[in-house]
Amino acid sequence: MIWRWLTRHADHSPDRCALRWDAGSLAYADLALRVEAVAGALAARGLERGDRVAFLGHNTPDQLILLFACARIGAIQVPLNWRLAAPEWRFILADSGARLLLAEEDLLESAVAAAPEGCAVARTADLTPDRLPAVPVGTEEDPLLLVYTSGTTGRPKGALLDQRAVLFNALNAQHAFGMTAQDRILTVLPMFHVGGLNIQTTPALYTGAEVILHRRFDPDAFFDAIERERPTLSLLVPAVMQVLVSHPRWLGSNLDSLRAVGAGSSDVPVRLIEAFHAKGVAVQQIYGATETCPIALVQTRPEALAAPGSIGRPALHVECRLAMPDGSPVIRGAAGEIQVRGPSVMRGYWGGEAALHDGGWFPTGDVGRVDEAGRWWFKDRLKHVIISGGENIYPAEVERALAGAPGIIEGAVVGRPDPRWGEVPVAVVVPAPGFDPTRVLEHIAAQIARFKQPRAVIPVPALPRTALGKVAIAELKALVARN
């Protein structure tokens, strides 16, 4: 079903640029033909509706072409994180039952070593059929994406998203960003995550816009693209925003082509938002999860400028509520778990693990609140709550107090076991010149209650992070436990 986006754009605007990357470009007519050819190649290899096809590579047209080719025949793409180790790839390939793994040339040897029995491996360039066989047509009910979560606790789980979810997510994005066919979207985040793939990239192809693909994020390449290609929208995460703001080219950069950047994946520090706003670039926050495709809550551009730090309001085709983990409602004004339902929410986890509450609500495991104006605010991860002496402490609240402390570049807060209190908060920071842990604690003490204040400040060269720039909580807790 979603493959028809490309054929329709090819009918109406065949010469409009669809994809641009370092080695070339593809117009919509050429992209549609390439998708048909790859769909035919998959069918010629015996791939059928429901079969899983994995992809291992950087941000290239190949991943997007494969995605739409899978949609064409009703197959399911399994994007692999190229930053994982071979045993992690092997688990995902075995768990998903992938019949074919397509890999970039520079990753082919590693792909062959990781593939389990029954999973064939080929280069993306090999998918060129001698002839186009009859190809089945995928429908909106067909699963399309099987995306594995980060697996910070135990094995990763595969979230199953159908073509309908990708469509409605695109509608949510189009509404939130005011996306039109005249937009140029700069994609620098990895498309093996639903953020890099679905917050702006696939919605751009639904809209008929141009996508500028960077193989991976590089700050100089980002600034070069702003100067030369004049993108109108991009998507960033806080770690990437920090790199840009700290870069020598930041002060002299002209970002006036950018109408906005989307930002999410973790709590976005207001100081980074303000740095972009000072350049005239609105930072539109997006809240969601792999399981929600991912857009659930989102800011429009006016909301981003009016309420920096808010995660917005429910997206156009999404329902959100605050509830206790068992689904019971919270009283008005109180914090609760963010729960989401709608056509863009996953069907469930691969293997049939129960994931949704009655009524189709997905429990995110995150705590939020809604203010009197109806704006939503992220409070913390439910599982990361520190319970100290019977009091709940939300690390994100402490981190916001920590953010402006003198002598640090960035920091995070986790709980450390304590024989008296059960747990106590501890701050882990990347120090800057003039770092003094006493001054850091004094800064925090002026802003939050005593029981919430960190009992120690631990300096480290860098915070451990996941592929999307999120702080790796499990690693951080292990580090704190050793100190």
**Residue 362 and residue 391 share a domain:** no
Provide the domain count of the chain. 2
**Which residue, of 349, 381, 413, is where some domain finishes?**
381
> 28 pLDDT exceeds 60?
yes
Instruction: Return the CATH number at 413.
Output: 3.30.300.30
Q: What is the pLDDT of residues 58-79, one digit of tens each?
A: 999 999 999 999 999 999 999 9
> 30 pLDDT exceeds 50?
yes
**Residue 239 and residue 290 share a domain:** yes
What's the pLDDT band for 153 if we cut at 50, 70, 90?
very low
What's the pLDDT band for 400 if we cut at 50, 70, 90?
confident
**Residue 410 and residue 319 share a domain:** no
> 459 pLDDT exceeds 80?
yes
User: Looking at residues 406-419, what average pLDDT do you find?
Assistant: 91
Instruction: Return the CATH number at 148.
Output: 3.40.50.12780
> 436 pLDDT exceeds 50?
yes
Q: What is the pLDDT of residues 299-338, one digit of tens each?
A: 999 999 999 999 999 999 999 999 987 778 888 888 899 9
Report whether 78 contacts 96 (CB < 8 A). yes
**Residue 437 and residue 323 share a domain:** no
**Residue 76 and residue 171 share a domain:** yes
pTM of the predicted model as reported, rounded to 2 decimal places:
0.85
**Residue 390 and residue 363 share a domain:** no
**Residue 162 and residue 25 share a domain:** yes
**Residue 199 and residue 88 share a domain:** yes
**Residue 202 and residue 321 share a domain:** yes
**In terms of residue numbers, what domain contains 364?**
1-381
**Which residue, of 311, 346, 381, is where some domain finishes?**
381
Percent of the chain with pLDDT over 90: 73
> 420 pLDDT exceeds 80?
no
SS3 (DSSP) at 373: coil
**Which residue, of 319, 354, 381, is where some domain finishes?**
381
Question: What mean pLDDT value characterizes the chain?
Answer: 92
- At 446 the pLDDT is 87
> 155 pLDDT exceeds 90?
no
- At 130 the pLDDT is 61
**Residue 459 and residue 323 share a domain:** no
User: Looking at residues 241-245, what average pLDDT do you find?
Assistant: 92
The radius of gyration of the chain's CA atoms, rounded to the nearest angstrom, is 23
- At 189 the pLDDT is 94
Report whether 413 contacts 394 (CB < 8 A). no
**Residue 415 and residue 323 share a domain:** no
- At 152 the pLDDT is 40
What's the pLDDT band for 150 if we cut at 50, 70, 90?
low
**Residue 376 and residue 474 share a domain:** no
User: Looking at residues 416-426, what average pLDDT do you find?
Assistant: 86
What's the pLDDT band for 151 if we cut at 50, 70, 90?
very low
User: Looking at residues 463-478, what average pLDDT do you find?
Assistant: 82
- At 382 the pLDDT is 77
> 391 pLDDT exceeds 80?
no
User: Looking at residues 278-294, what average pLDDT do you find?
Assistant: 96
> 467 pLDDT exceeds 70?
no
Q: What is the dihedral of CA 102, 75, 236, 28, to 10 degrees?
A: 90
What's the pLDDT band for 468 if we cut at 50, 70, 90?
low
